[in-house]
Chain A
Amino acid sequence: MHEVTPARPARRRRGVNVFLWLGVSLLAVFALLALFGEVVAPHDPNAQDLFAMLEPPSAAHLLGTDNVGRDILSRIIVGTRYTLSIALASVLFAGIGGVALGAIAGYFGGVTDRVVTGIIDLLLTVPNIVLAIAIASVAGSSATGLTIAITASFIPPLARLVRGRVIELAQEDFVAASITVGMSHTRILLRHILPNAATVIIIELSLNAGQAVLIGSALGFLGLGVQPPAPEWGTMLGASREYLTMAPHLVIAPGIAISLLVLAFNAFGDGLRDVFDPGSSS
């Protein structure tokens, strides 16, 4: 049962939003690494040094080297670009697709709604990682395939969320008022309904971005994502699992990178929710 919670502690609402700032600053760091990876990286991420294989962390290689002597730190830094761009692109495309489908189904109702909801419900019965694996195996093992797979797995839940919010908003009198002044349905959707649904959508998308990182890495790990030698984190994880007992740092470093990025997106999403929607608890 839900407890009846009194108003949120004022500290959160008035003071600094810790989650939001943690998320924003972590994301800023990752964004800089993604943009200027090659400049920042101490070594060439693909340069092999067969005399320094599986070396533990040292002054020359802060995070050690992998099975063909590549600098792990450099690979992680340069790899940020793959992970981040896949996450952002899939969230962007899922946002467009999910919002369009959900808005049309929720606002116009009728047959359109029944068809769209039917398909959404069908897809929702498949866990999204499984859906993503299925699509990735068809779309091919590349950054593009990965993006398509993740996008597709995000659209159904997002469309459902948007549809619900749109149905709720369509009942509002300000929508009725817009009809009585003679506004077209398209304009009502774009000017009144979607702006009022925006916060829910933005929060959901920022949480989805964290999910996208996880799914992307998982597919990379399974060999369905970006192919080696590209330094994508999930792919790096997958390639180094054989050396787990010999050189655990090969697995730990990309693992921590993935966790940090997921943490960044989730903290950002939670922080946004606290700002926009202080009443809700999750």
Chain B
Amino acid sequence: MSKLLEVSNLGKRFTIAGGLAGKARTVHAVDDVSFSIAAGETLGLVGESGCGKSTVGKMIVRLLEPSAGNILLDGIDISHLSHRRMRPLRRRVQMIFQDPNGSLDPRQRAQDIVAEPLLVSGMRGAARRRERVADLFEKVGLRPDQMRNVPSKFSGGQRQRLAIARALALNPALIIADEPVSALDVSIQAQVVNLMSDIQREFGLAYLFVAHDLGIVQHISDRVAVMYLGRIVEIGDTARVYQQPSHPYTRTLMDAVPKPDPSRRHRRLKVPRGEVPSPLDPPSGCAFHPRCPAATDICRRERPLLRRVASGAETACHHAD
């Protein structure tokens, strides 16, 4: 079976200009990332801020140019298509941004925001577009009488619903959701996540759900990929990764998730030691070794590759079994 999206050995390097005398340096924001997403599936992508998870999402919708690797969408290599050649393929993959305050043009009315993809894709007839917009408004739970309002008249949650409606307008097969709820009030987050689940069921959508909130990712994802310093350190079915994390980094992450379990109250949490190293100067070998309780010599020398472990997930750790 061919996958909807196949990403292989994807990399993104940013060059940082040096000062007057300094030389330019390179940051590997994303390095050798591979995964695939099947139709209708949700892959959660988690990791700390700055680990490169948003960069992966932006490369897939070609807002950023990949420096290495390939992106296959429906089997077509889109990794280096020009802006013009990419345009007809864009209807298959849409994006929801983190902050709806920034992703909606403040001067546009809600109905025009949602109609814009239709207009751009060449849907003729104002009446047909209006009908489709009304339909999308209903799907995301916005009232028809709000259609003429500008974004500032909406609440945060409603704005994100508007952004979801825009992403749905072209009937995409895949939506890249870049931290779609982290800018929202906690009380609203669940509503928006549930809306996304409902829509997924109705349209058979696939999601790449980028987030740092492990609880939300667990709720919505079929599979999870954990990133650390630009690389995937563990990837597998959500239940396996959450219940039997095999990478030490995943274990510390999972440990940080609050659980309603009184017996845990007095246990000390295994929080990773120290700070995330600078991606400008990543550690040798396994990037996690300076913070890892199980690190040995080999971890400092050799970079571990992803391999299948007992839990059924794939892990990049020399010591996992």
A181/B102 in contact, CB under 8 A: no
Residues of B within 8 A of A178 (CB): 116
Distance between Cα atoms of A172 and B107 in the complex (Å): 13
A180, CB-defined interface residue at 8 Å: yes
Does B99 count as interface, using CB distance less than 8 angstroms? Answer: yes
B120 with A174: CB separation less than 8 A? no
Chain A positions 171 through 202: 1 when the CB is less than 8 Å from some CB of chain B, otherwise 0: 01110111111111101000010011000000
Interface residues of A in 140-182 (CB under 8 A from B): 172-174, 176-182
Whether the pair B102, A182 counts as a contact (CB closer than 8 A) is no
Task: Indicate if the CB atoms of A182 and B120 lie closer than 8 Å.
Answer: yes
Binds A, one of B89-97, B126-134, B216-224, B267-275: B89-97
* Chain A binding surface, main DSSP class: helix
The answer on a CB contact under 8 Å between A180 and B63 is: yes
Total interface residues in chain B, CB < 8 Å:
32
B106 close to A (CB within 8 Å): yes
* Cross-chain contact of B95 among A180, A185, A187 (Cβ < 8 A): A180
Q: Is B87 an interface residue (CB 8 A)?
A: yes
Chain A residue at smallest Cβ distance from B58: A176
Cβ contact within 8 Å between B94 and A180: yes
Q: A173-B97, A181-B94 are in contact. Are A192 and B105 (CB under 8 A)?
A: yes
Residue contact A176 to B90, C-beta cutoff 8 Å? no
Contact B97 A183 (CB under 8 A): no
Residue pairs across A and B with CB atoms within 8 Å: the count is 64
B99 pairs with A183, CB closer than 8 A: no
Quick one: which of A176, A182, A184 contacts B88, CB cutoff 8 A? Answer: A182
Return the chain B residue nearest A183 by Cβ: B120
Give residues 108-145 of A contacting B (CB, 8 Å). Answer: none
Contact of B83 among A174, A177, A185 (CB under 8 A): A185
Task: Assess the A181–B170 pair: CB atoms within 8 A.
Answer: yes
CB <8 Å contact, B107 and A195: yes
Chain A nearest Cβ from B86, distance in angstroms: 8
Residues of A within 8 A of B107 (CB): 195-196
Q: Is there a chain A Cβ closer than 8 Å to B10's Cβ?
A: no
| Contact call B170/A176, Cβ cutoff below 8 A | no
Query: Quick one: closest B residue to A178, CB to CB?
Result: B116
Are A179 and B102 interface neighbours, CB within 8 A?
no
Query: When the two chains form their complex, are residues B91 and A182 in contact, meaning their CB atoms are under 8 A apart?
Result: yes
Q: Does B117 sit at the interface, judged by CB under 8 A?
A: yes
Known contacts A181-B90, A195-B107; A173 and B102 CB within 8 A of each other: yes
In the complex, chain B residues whose CB is within 8 Å of the CB of A192:
105, 108
Q: Is B63 within 8 A of A181, CB to CB?
A: no
Tell me if B43 is interfacial: C-beta within 8 Å of chain A.
no
If A182-B91, A183-B116 touch, does A196 touch B106 (CB 8 Å cutoff)? Answer: yes
B149: shortest Cβ distance to chain A, in Å?
16
**How distant is the Cα of A187 from the Cα of B58 in the complex, in angstroms?**
21
Contacts A181-B90, A181-B120, A182-B120; A176 near B166 (Cβ below 8 A): no
Q: Residue B103 at the A interface, CB < 8 A?
A: yes
- The CA of A62 and the CA of B261, in the complex, are separated in Å by 94
Q: Is A174 a contact partner of B87 (Cβ separation < 8 A)?
A: no
Cβ A184 vs Cβ B87 within 8 A: yes
36-72 of chain B: CB within 8 A of chain A: 58, 61-63
A198 closest partner in B (C-beta): B107
Residue among A177, A179, A183, A196 with max Cβ neighbours from chain B (10 Å): A177
Say yes or no: B103 contacts A177, CB within 8 Å: yes
In the complex, what distance in Å separates the CA atom of A184 from the CA atom of B86?
11
Q: Are A176 and B105 in contact (CB under 8 A)?
A: no
**Beta-carbon contact of A182 and B87 below 8 Å:** yes
In the complex, 22 of the A-B residue pairs with CB atoms within 8 angstroms, ordered by the A residue number, are A172-B102, A173-B99, A174-B103, A176-B97, A177-B97, A179-B61, A179-B83, A180-B94, A181-B117, A181-B120, A181-B121, A181-B166, A182-B88, A182-B90, A182-B120, A182-B121, A183-B116, A183-B120, A187-B120, A192-B105, A195-B105, A196-B105
Q: A176-B58, A181-B166, A181-B170 are in contact. List 6 more A-B contacts (CB 8 A).
A: A172-B102, A177-B166, A180-B90, A181-B169, A183-B116, A183-B120
The 4 residue pairs across chains A and B that have the minimum distance between CB atoms: A173-B103, A181-B117, A173-B102, A182-B90
